[in-house]
Amino acid sequence: MSHELMTEPLWTGDYYNEGSGKEGLDKLKEECGVFGVYRHPDAASLSYYGLHALQHRGEESAGMCVSDGTQFNYHRGMGLVKEVFTKDLMQTLTGDISIGHVRYSTSGDSKLTNAQPLVFKYRDGDLAVATNGNIVNAPTIRRELEQSGSIFQTTSDTEVIAHLIARSSKGLVEAAKDAFQRIVGGYAFLIMTNDKLLVASDPHGLRPLTMGKLGDAYLFASETCALETIGAELIRDIEPGELLVLDADGLHEDRFDNHKHRKALCAMEYIYFARPDSDMNGANQHAARKRMGSRMAIEAFVDADLVTGVPDSSISAAIGYAEQTGIPYEMGMIKNKYTGRTFIQPSQELREQGVKMKLSAVRRVVEGKRVVMIDDSIVRGTTSRRIVNMLRDAGATEVHVRITSPPFKNPCFYGIDTPDSRELIASALSVEEICREINADSLAFLSPDGLIASIQGDNQDDYKGGLCLACFDNDYPTRLDFDGEEKFGCSC
């Protein structure tokens, strides 16, 4: 049974974007990263470094909009932050309010018109919108708006929020509240006018968003690593259903959803998406991933000569597995960090080999050894099979695969780019069948309870949030709380 799925590579102008994730490898891709600055004279530079720190959340396009109080200066482009923003260009982005965005498309086409922030003219001046996430009822709202005369400029679901605000007869803040109450999904929004910044998180806090300060300036970022990069002090996470308004009178804390939902951050943030040096809900990602590896060793020990992790997101878990078992951790695989964009399109043969463009086995390390390969997830199974075969080709005598998440069985509708259930290998095959499909000697997944315990850590009282396990848990389409008390199904 084959789960191979190859798609056409992404071309942007003369470039083949090898770093876009569009070439058919079956790793999940985060949806986007956002960064905002309010009242700092060097807002554009802070946003540049903040977006650079969030580059892992989206390599397809980058954009920034800066306000000097009277007008917008903005730029968007396809590619990485360092490619989109040159030194000369940065000098034109003047102002003390800024929102920035790095994008990996989960809805809308991969093209410049969908790059964010989206910028509009409306009755009260300029409006810019950047979001991390997905609005699942956007097609319905879009059809309704088009039937009543709205003309959309992009295929991005983010544009829906701008139209809802622009069509309202209320002031900006009340119009934004009404708009957020209409949309369904997982999202973190930054909305900017010439002199205001609005910050909002969805009612369940599925997407991460944090607030920091640098002097008197307020900063907002998808991950704390971006705040650390520029030396900002972390203040707190944005709460589910919260709406912050920053204007000439300061910071105003408000809400658009007054129901008290427990925060339910996407589990994949802990497993894979976020950088290891980021903290979410009071939990450090590196420490949580080490605990996942340790718990994996307890649940599914196998005798071997070395442990290796698939770079980069699985290295922390591999260290935890090695420490728990006493089996040495070795760098059995090396990641090529300089993929990005290139003028040279890879040959069909190289595309079919796929993973070798990004990953290489260290023959002198794995040759003649029984290897435990730690990875964070299996989606379609194609990449796992290629990595297992790569290790075997390098001389590994046995390859035992340990996945530090439960089987990925359900598509996500809240902002992660996932195939439908027919293309998810764990929805169709048993663990034993997947093991044969990826050519491993043995295979085990971390249990849901093991994942939860790993994220909570030793001091569970310090952990500040719930967890969305929608992609793993068939019993509850979306499990939003550790004790299962609060659940809701997808509205799609």
Residue type, 394: A
Q: What is the C-alpha end-to-end distance of the chain, expressed in Å?
A: 29
Contacts of 136 (CB under 8 A, 6+ apart): 184, 185, 413, 414, 490, 491, 492
The tokens for 377 are 């997830």
Do 327 and 293 meet the contact criterion of CB atoms below 8 Å apart? no
Phi, psi of 307 (to 5 degrees): -115, 135
Residue type, 80: L
Bridge partners (DSSP) listed for residue 479: 487
Q: Is 471 annotated as a binding residue?
A: yes
**32 catalytic residue (yes or no):** yes
Residue type, 130: A
Pairing of strands 118-122, 97-103: unpaired
The tokens for 14 are 């003369």
Q: Which residue has the tokens 């959803």?
A: 257
- C-alpha 409/C-alpha 378 separation (Å) is 10
Q: Is 42 annotated as a binding residue?
A: no
DSSP 309-343: E-TTTTHHHHHHHHHHH-PPB---EEE-S--SEES
The tokens for 329 are 């951790």
Residue type, 444: A
Q: Is 65 annotated as a binding residue?
A: no
Using only C-alpha atoms, what is the Rg of the chain?
22
Q: What's the DSSP call for residue 362? A: -
- C-alpha 112/C-alpha 306 separation (Å) is 45
Q: Is 468 annotated as a binding residue?
A: yes
- C-alpha 408/C-alpha 65 separation (Å) is 37
Q: Is 313 annotated as a binding residue?
A: yes
Do 253 and 244 meet the contact criterion of CB atoms below 8 Å apart? yes
Q: Which of 32, 65, 225, 435 is catalytic?
A: 32
Q: Which residue has the tokens 């900063």?
A: 219
Can you say which residues are annotated as belonging to the binding site for Mg(2+)?
313, 375-376
Can you say which residues are annotated as belonging to the binding site for [4Fe-4S] cluster?
266, 412, 468, 471
Can you say which residues are annotated as belonging to the binding site?
266, 313, 375-376, 412, 468, 471
Q: Which residues are catalytic?
A: 32
